[in-house]
Amino acid sequence: MAAAAATTVSSAGGLLAMLNESHPQLKYHALSNLISFVDQFWPEISTSVPIIESLYEDEEFGQHQRQLAALLVSKVFYYLGEFNDSLSYALGAGSLFDVSEDSDYVHTLLSKAIDEYVSLRSKAAESSDEAAKVDPRLEAIVERMLEKCIMDGKYQQAMGIAIECRRLDKLEEAITRSENVHGTLAYCINASHSFVYRREYRQDVLRLLVKVYEKLPSPDYLSICQCLMFLYEPEGVANILEKLLRSENKEDALLAFQIAFDLVENEHQAFLLNVRDRLSPPKSLPSESVQPGSSDPAPAQNENSTAPEDVQMTDGSAVLEVDPKEVTYAERLTKIKGILSGETSIQLTLQFLFSYNKSDLLILKTIKQSVEMRNSVCHSATIYANAIMHAGTTVDTFLRDNLDWLSRATNWAKFSATAGLGVIHRGHLQQGRSLMAPYLPQGGAGGGSPYSEGGALYALGLVHANHGEGIKQFLRDSLRGTNVEVYDSLGL
């Protein structure tokens, strides 16, 4: 009896014959069983695809039965390699197409569905073409896939699909429902920079991330400011920094300084200066009314004090009340403006490079003695080596000790020797111009060597690299007032 019960089905012919019966229940029975055997008998079932398609198109056939017929046809087309037709009928299968099924069939069609959806969403975003409208059934499959990823805790996968499909609503949902919101936000920022190539869409993603960050119980101001920098919204960054600077909590002020330092590392000079200029000045600080002989704008204040303090006017005729909070804000504002302008970072870098300079001048001296005087290539190479060895250290001892040797340089070697000073003194903003003064064009006319003068202007550019607020106009004026033909020949 047991052996008889364990019969093996060797053909789908009987079930296919039932599809031609008139009773709907027989057709439904045939479809239900054919679904179970389609992996084995798809070549045989493929001969009856037109019949199954007619069942799907029959509106008098029950909805569930029609979806079952669509699923069966979809699987047959999948095995035939017709993925477009397979996806089309899978859409007609509705909820019977189970996105959670772990099979090659489902994985392949999901990948196909996502690619198709991404293509249609991109076309819809780029134009208002009616042909770019998305099939609601296709959208439903993608949404079910996203929901499954979120339910399974695969938040990064869900965010990747949402970004690719331009579904910012699902992206926000995946972030807010994740167990580690800060981690998923950081991942999303990296993904937007690495995989979103259209600038307009990347900005939309970043604006969404800023909105999510701001809704957190403890907003990550550092990440918010980074996003606002990529969006080029200096007003938003300035508002955050000012809010932190005016806080009575000293930790908030330190956070503002840290944000400023991190923004400076991106070396976006125009943005940083824009942020700096948008910071509000302190309110009613009588800097012009302090006692004569005092260099401080106001008496020293304790950051925790709250009582106003009286300040005597210089003529002794009036007394002004100064809010100590504004005094504290003014001190913090001065510091953060120095950071945003790059001066603080440059000063710290100069101190570090000068203090830890371990270059061996004996090596350069040996190279110089070994180089033939008339060998211009070796002469220039020695100059380059000195500039690279002492880059940013402000140590130009080798050049000053060998002025006669350097004076033998001609043409481009003279240009390189002068420009090398800019490499050595890079960041020396306060004295850069005075250091290069002997080599700069004098009196608005190119009286000296154009190579030496061109090298000096190039050196000034290197000294003020990415911090040219105070030197750009001078460089422009110098170039306008010199021999244009000579500088054109130099490519300057």
Q: What does the DSSP 8-state code read for residue 60?
A: T
5 assigned to some structural domain: no
Question: 107-111, 202-206, 408-412: lowest mean pLDDT where?
Answer: 408-412
Is the same domain home to 88 and 227? no
- Predicted pLDDT at 128: 59
Contacts of 122 (CB under 8 A, 6+ apart): 166
475 assigned to some structural domain: yes
Whether residue 312 contacts residue 259, with contact meaning beta carbons closer than 8 Å, is answered with no
pLDDT band for 175, please (50, 70, 90 cuts). very high
Residue 470 has pLDDT above 80, yes or no: no
Q: Which domain holds residue 320?
A: 220-286+305-341
6 assigned to some structural domain: no
- Predicted pLDDT at 367: 84
Whether residue 466 contacts residue 458, with contact meaning beta carbons closer than 8 Å, is answered with no
Is the same domain home to 198 and 68? yes
CA angle 446, 452, 453 (to 5 degrees): 40
pLDDT in tens, 253-291: 999 999 999 998 887 888 998 999 999 888 765 544 444
156 assigned to some structural domain: yes
181 assigned to some structural domain: yes
Q: Which of 188, 214, 240 is a domain's end point?
A: 214
Residue 219 has pLDDT above 90, yes or no: no
- Predicted pLDDT at 228: 93
Mean pLDDT of 42-69: 88
Is the same domain home to 131 and 271? no
User: Which residue, among 422, 428, 352, 357, has the nearest Cα to 387 in the 3D structure?
Assistant: 422
* β-pairing verdict for 309-312 and 319-322: antiparallel
Mean pLDDT of 384-408: 84
Is the same domain home to 254 and 171? no
pLDDT in tens, 123-151: 887 775 544 578 888 989 999 999 999 99
- Predicted pLDDT at 129: 56
Residue 377 has pLDDT above 90, yes or no: no
Who wins on pLDDT, 32 or 482? 32
347 assigned to some structural domain: no
Alpha carbons 331 and 334: distance in angstroms, whole number: 5
Residue 308 has pLDDT above 50, yes or no: no
Is the same domain home to 148 and 32? yes
- Predicted pLDDT at 4: 39
Is the same domain home to 100 and 225? no
Mean pLDDT of 38-43: 86
Total number of domains in the chain: 3
- Predicted pLDDT at 285: 54
Whether residue 275 contacts residue 237, with contact meaning beta carbons closer than 8 Å, is answered with yes
- Predicted pLDDT at 443: 58
pLDDT band for 312, please (50, 70, 90 cuts). very low
Q: Which of 214, 241, 269 is a domain's end point?
A: 214
- Predicted pLDDT at 295: 38
Question: 52-56, 321-325, 331-335, 435-439: lowest mean pLDDT where?
Answer: 321-325
Is the same domain home to 155 and 98? yes
Is the same domain home to 241 and 183? no
291 assigned to some structural domain: no
Alpha carbons 394 and 423: distance in angstroms, whole number: 9
Q: What does the DSSP 8-state code read for residue 394?
A: -
Mean pLDDT of 32-54: 88
Mean pLDDT of 203-217: 92
Is the same domain home to 207 and 224? no
pTM reported for the whole predicted model: 0.70
Average pLDDT, the chain: 81
- Predicted pLDDT at 317: 47
Residue 90 has pLDDT above 60, yes or no: yes
Is the same domain home to 119 and 228? no
- Predicted pLDDT at 205: 93
Is the same domain home to 123 and 105? yes
In 125-135, which positions are buried (b, 16+ CB within 10 angstroms) versus exposed (e)? eeeeeeeeebe
Is the same domain home to 124 and 263? no
Q: How far is C-alpha 42 from the chain's CA centre? A: 50
51 assigned to some structural domain: yes
pLDDT band for 364, please (50, 70, 90 cuts). confident
Question: Tell me, what CATH number does 54's domain have?
Answer: 1.25.40
Residue 18 has pLDDT above 70, yes or no: yes
- Predicted pLDDT at 132: 56
Whether residue 298 contacts residue 320, with contact meaning beta carbons closer than 8 Å, is answered with no
- Predicted pLDDT at 284: 64
HEC-encoded secondary structure of the chain: CHHHHCCCCCCCHHHHHHCCCCCHHHHHHHHHHHHHHHHHHHHHHHHHHHHHHHHHHCCCCCHHHHHHHHHHHHHHHHHCCCHHHHHHHHHHCHHHCCCCCCCHHHHHHHHHHHHHHHHHHHHHHHCCCHHHCCCHHHHHHHHHHHHHHHHCCCHHHHHHHHHHCCCHHHHHHHHHCCCCHHHHHHHHHHHHHHHCCCHHHHHHHHHHHHHHHHHCCCCCHHHHHHHHHHCCCHHHHHHHHHHHHHCCCHHHHHHHHHHHHHHHHCCCHHHHHHHHHHCCCCCCCCHHHCCCCCCCCCCCCCCCCCCCEEEECCCCCCEEEECHHHHHHHHHHHHHHHHHCCHHHHHHHHHHHHHCCCCCHHHHHHHHHHCCCCCHHHHHHHHHHHHHHCCCCCCCHHHHHCHHHHHCCCHHHHHHHHHHHHHHCCCCCCCHHHHHHHHCCECCECCCCHHHHHHHHHHHHHHCCCCHHHCHHHHHHHHHCCCHHHHHHHCC
Alpha carbons 294 and 307: distance in angstroms, whole number: 22
